[in-house]
Amino acid sequence: DADVTQTPRNRITKTGKRIMLECSQTKGHDRMYWYRQDPGLGLRLIYYSFDVKDINKGEISDGYSVSRQAQAKFSLSLESAIPNQTALYFCATSDTRTGGMNTEAFFGQGTRLTVV
Amino acid sequence: AQSVTQLDSHVSVSEGTPVLLRCNYSSSYSPSLFWYVQHPNKGLQLLLKYTSAATLVKGINGFEAEFKKSETSFHLTKPSAHMSDAAEYFCVVKAGAAGNKLTFGGGTRVLVKP
């Protein structure tokens, strides 16, 4: 089983619909992140969470919201999806408690979202 | 503030020849630097990382990278390309007082010809 699991893996939704992408981890890491990937732009940070009660906006948070329901779960919501939110979304985790502030991140397999 | 520039969006090499992927960064703090690889329809896998120890870093699958502070570079190399190296590669910087955000380059797509 994957250490960082994203569901669904693929989703097509209509403009204006609310959609939730889910992420769960079995690594016991404290920090969790949501990124989106667009061709030629690399990955850009949407939101990140230090722990259950600490949520922070990333560089492109407009149009998105998140919830850290438990240490192991971090969900991303698009309140009213629009076509330019069509992208590949990645959840990631990192362990700063044992790895320090500059430890690497571990990524899920990605969710391909298409908004039509 | 921090940023990463991958100088080539696409690189094409023949199997058995060297691979060079170029990365330049900027950071106000001493950075940690990473290279990740993404195979088609897969997540991102860590190839190697630099965190202020040895400047020449060896990673998985025969890859290595050299941190050059004077040139603000962290180029990725492999002496002999294999067909399985065909993928997209991302250079990533992590730095700053918060130390919590990864900043990605735009990616370099590698094509390996037989």
Which of A45, A50, A109 is the closest to B43 by Cβ?
A: A109
Inter-chain residue contact B100 with A31, CB threshold 8 Å: yes
Report which of A39, A16, A41, A8 is spatially closest to residue A110, judged by C-alpha positions.
Answer: A8
Structure letter (DSSP) for residue A74: E
d(CA A86, CA A115): 5
Whole-number percent of chain A with pLDDT over 90: 78
Inter-chain residue contact B43 with A58, CB threshold 8 Å: no
pLDDT class for A101, splitting at 50, 70, 90?
Answer: low
pLDDT class for A115, splitting at 50, 70, 90?
Answer: very high
pLDDT class for B99, splitting at 50, 70, 90?
Answer: low
Whole-number percent of chain B with pLDDT over 90: 75
Question: For the residues B55-71, what does the mean pLDDT come to?
Answer: 94
CA dist B40 to A4, A107, B14, B37, B85, Å?
A: 18, 14, 19, 10, 11
- Residue A87 near residue A78, CB atoms below 8 Å: no
Structure letter (DSSP) for residue A97: H
Inter-chain residue contact A58 with B4, CB threshold 8 Å: no
Q: pLDDT of B17-38, one tens digit each?
A: 999 999 999 987 788 899 999 9
Evaluate if residue B101 carries a pLDDT over 90: no
Helix (H) or strand (E) run with residue A99 in it:
helix A96-99
d(CA B112, CA B69): 30
Question: For the residues A88-114, what does the mean pLDDT come to?
Answer: 88
Q: Which residue of B has its CA nearest to A6?
A: B43
Which of B95, B100, B107 is the closest to A42 by Cβ?
A: B107
Evaluate if residue B100 carries a pLDDT over 80: no
Evaluate if residue A102 carries a pLDDT over 80: no
Question: For the residues B30-51, what does the mean pLDDT come to?
Answer: 91
pLDDT class for A49, splitting at 50, 70, 90?
Answer: very high
